[in-house]
Structure 1
Amino acid sequence: MAGYSEEFKYSIVSKMMPPQNRAVADIPKETGLSEVTLYKWQNLHRKCG
């Protein structure tokens, strides 16, 4: 399992939030990350801010 920095995670999660509002399904195409991982990161960001 790869370890990603918090900065990297935030940069990816920010693509799913305003003003970009990109679909989660589009991001794995450019990053190679799974949708499950993206949803986990998004949920963590919502909880922790």
Structure 2
Amino acid sequence: MEEDRAAERQVVVHGGGFWRLVPGHVPRRYDLPTRQLMERVLHGLGRLPE
């Protein structure tokens, strides 16, 4: 069941259905979740004010 929903979300995103909800200034690309990317995300989150 979850696999079906994941596949459906992937079709929507890759078909452009998701991007109509996102502001135009947001980059239209996707980075694979690598360790380096996750470290960058965590570093960025650590800079948020408390």
TM-score by length of 2: 0.34
TM-score by length of 1: 0.34
When Rg is computed on C-alpha atoms for both structures, the one with the higher figure is 2
Per chain length, whose mean CA-contact separation is higher, i.e. which structure has more relative contact order (CA < 8 Å, sep 6+)? 1
